[in-house]
């Protein structure tokens, strides 16, 4: 924004106000102290935010002051002169603290949330980890929204405040905070999506699905004597290595239930080891349906969490994922 633009628009503003008493004009400087003023005083260059926050017609859209037909040109001129005099005494302070910043939106958001936090910091909170799980917008989404180049560290500070606000006791959660937080929530909260709990079917079978690398396995567990059939083959036929055989039934082995259940498995994709370890996860999931109390034991056995590691992709300009071509002098 150029320097000459502000006085001009202010002049126009005063001109449109007409003969307002001085006391009303005085109230403008006081706006720098309070953010919660009822009159809209935010000025911002941010394109999106402006439309959201200012509920009146944006003044920048007004090309010229409204024409007053009742008064003559002399009165207008007098008012302009008065305004000129006034401007010599007044120091115009923008309502937003980030007015002179290149990235006002993000700063405004931070300030707003910080203010909210200070305002409601005395409200009781739930213990850590007991707040409703919320997926906040990611940095990328936020960047797109505010259209400003904000870094991860600054966004992390915003998220930290949001996290704290989210811990306010739900029964006492102020409406103001809820609406403020809503702006930062993802459109769909993935934590709200709960998988249907698996049940033991009429035949006494429980099903589990496991994955590892590019293999994917489905296992059905039924009470039995420890028979295993994977893709129609016995464990020894399916997995030549003893290690892989142990991996596949590790969930049962580690909980001393190898002779209590029969396993029927289907596994596809990937290699031998991947298939065996996918089977381990699938069997553990199926076992959890039969005996949910085994979850801590299975977690200690390492068959609850999916191993997310996969083959790293090859990149252009490299021979493999990371290997660089051999250096050649010329």
| CA atoms of 160 and 156, how far apart (whole Å) | 6
62 vs 242 by CB, closer to other proteins? 242
CB of 200 to other proteins, least distance (A): 22
Q: For other proteins, which residue of 160, 172, 236, 319 counts as binding (CB under 8 A)?
A: 236
| CA atoms of 32 and 140, how far apart (whole Å) | 32
Q: For other proteins, which residue of 228, 278, 279, 281 counts as binding (CB under 8 A)?
A: 228
Which structure tokens are listed for 311? 């083959």
5 vs 227 by CB, closer to other proteins? 227
| CA atoms of 73 and 31, how far apart (whole Å) | 32
139 vs 272 by CB, closer to other proteins? 272
User: Within 10 A of 281 (CB to CB), how many other CB atoms are there?
Assistant: 27
Q: Is 227 in the site for other proteins (CB under 8 A)?
A: yes
Q: Which of 186, 136, 150, 178 is nearest to 46 (CA)?
A: 150
Q: Is 6 in the site for other proteins (CB under 8 A)?
A: no
Q: For other proteins, which residue of 95, 162, 235, 282 counts as binding (CB under 8 A)?
A: 235
Q: Is 137 in the site for other proteins (CB under 8 A)?
A: no
DSSP secondary structure of 162-222: HHHHHTB-GGG--HHHHHHHHTTB-SS-GGG--PPPP---TTS-EEEEEEETTEEEEEEEE
Q: Is 256 in the site for other proteins (CB under 8 A)?
A: yes
Which structure tokens are listed for 279? 């089977």
155 vs 261 by CB, closer to other proteins? 261
Residues near other proteins (CB under 8 A): 225-228, 234-237, 242, 245-246, 249, 253, 256, 258-259
């Amino acid at each position: 924004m150029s320097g000459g633009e502000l006085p001009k628009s202010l002049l126009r503003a005063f001109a449109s106000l007409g003969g307002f008493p001085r006391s009303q004009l005085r109230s403008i400087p006081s706006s720098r102290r309070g953010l919660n003023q009822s009159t809209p005083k935010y000025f911002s260059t941010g394109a999106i935010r402006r439309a959201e926050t200012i509920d009146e017609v944006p003044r920048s859209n007004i090309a010229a002051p409204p024409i007053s037909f009742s008064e003559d040109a002399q009165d207008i001129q007098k008012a302009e002169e008065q305004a000129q005099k006034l401007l010599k005494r007044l120091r115009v302070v923008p309502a937003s603290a980030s007015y002179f910043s290149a990235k006002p939106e993000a700063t405004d958001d931070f300030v707003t949330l910080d203010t909210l936090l200070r305002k409601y910091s005395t409200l009781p909170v739930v213990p850590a980890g007991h707040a409703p799980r919320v997926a906040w917008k990611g940095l990328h989404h936020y960047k797109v929204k505010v259209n400003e180049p904000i870094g991860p560290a600054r966004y992390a500070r915003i998220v930290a405040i949001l996290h704290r606000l989210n811990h306010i006791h739900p029964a006492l959660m102020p409406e103001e905070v809820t609406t403020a937080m809503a702006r930062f929530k993802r459109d769909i909260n993935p934590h709200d999506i709960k998988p249907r709990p698996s049940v033991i079917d009429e035949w006494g079978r429980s099903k589990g699905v496991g994955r590892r690398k590019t293999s994917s396995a489905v296992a059905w567990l039924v009470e039995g004597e420890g028979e295993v059939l994977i893709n129609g083959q016995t464990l020894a036929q399916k997995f030549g290595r003893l290690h892989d055989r142990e991996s596949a039934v590790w969930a049962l082995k580690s909980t001393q239930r190898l002779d209590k259940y029969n396993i029927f498995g289907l596994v596809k994709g990937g290699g031998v080891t991947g298939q065996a370890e996918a089977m381990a996860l699938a069997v553990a999931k199926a076992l959890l349906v039969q005996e949910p109390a085994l979850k801590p034991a299975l977690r200690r056995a390492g068959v609850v969490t999916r191993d997310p590691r996969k083959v790293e992709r090859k990149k252009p300009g490299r021979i493999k994922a990371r290997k660089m071509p051999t250096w050649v002098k010329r």
